[in-house]
Amino acid sequence: MPLTGKRLERPGRPGLLAATYLPSILKGMWITLRHIFRPKVTLQYPEETWTLPENYRGLPALVRDDEGRVKCVACFLCEYVCPPKAIRIEAQEIETGVEKGPKIFDINMLRCIMCGYCEEVCPEQAIFLTPEYRTVGLSREEMIFPKERLLEMGGVRKDPIKKWSRLTGEAAEPRPVGAAAGAGRR
Ligand code: SF4
Ligand code: SF4
């Protein structure tokens, strides 16, 4: 079978001027010169930090409800869905007897790709992506964030559903954050 296709011509030999590389050097210097007079985009990190857009999604964190209770019920959905397998959960029974909670909840931030799948899949709105993007540590162990650190990062999110009040038959009166009601979920 005859070969088909377009015949390619070899490029011609460079002229005398091109052989000196002068046109290429001058072209490169012209690009550099133009950039000298343009506004600078380099940030002097860490003295200067990036102004994040409002919808920026950084490191994931766990949250408490407005009564100080850990919202996670250790359903393992986020661990299952996490593409790089960055989440490790161990469940435990909690005092109320109607749900379980996380005994261990670790996220390996070296693995996390901030994809947001954990936030998407969580049925309890217990995990959110924060604007924090700095993943700095001196060891690999330090980069595995435990539950306490994740809760500190996430803080409190208002819980309009008040599922716990319904499940436990408690009055929906607000209790102080960190009161005994949340102790079983820590
Ligand atoms: S943001 Fe993505 S990669 Fe990071 S813990 Fe959640 S699911 Fe895993
Ligand atoms: S954070 Fe949400 S999805 Fe992950 S285990 Fe807890 S309740 Fe389930």
The per-residue pLDDT for 1 is 63
The Cα 67–Cα 43 span in angstroms is 40
Own/partner long-range contacts of 46-55 (Cβ < 8 Å, ≥24 apart) = 50/133, 52/131, 52/133
What per-residue confidence (pLDDT) applies to 102? Answer: 95
Please report the atom of ligand 1 found closest to the CA of residue 85.
8
Pocket test for ligand 2, best of 70, 78, 130, 186 (most atoms within 8 A of CB): 78
SS3 120: helix
CA 83 / ligand 1 centre spacing (Å):
7
Domains and CATH numbers, the chain: 60-168 (3.30.70.3270)
| pLDDT at residue number 174 | 44
Does this model's pTM top 0.85? My answer is no
pLDDT tens, per residue, the chain with 186 residues: 677 788 888 888 888 888 899 999 999 999 999 999 998 888 888 898 888 999 999 999 999 988 888 999 999 999 999 999 999 999 998 876 667 899 999 999 999 999 999 999 999 999 999 999 988 889 999 999 999 999 999 999 988 777 777 776 654 444 444 433 333 344
Phi first, then psi: what are they for 106, rounded to 5°?
Answer: -110, 145
Question: What pLDDT shows up at residue 168?
Answer: 67
Q: Report the chain's C-alpha Rg in angstroms.
A: 28
* Atom 7 in ligand 2: residue holding the nearest Cα: 72
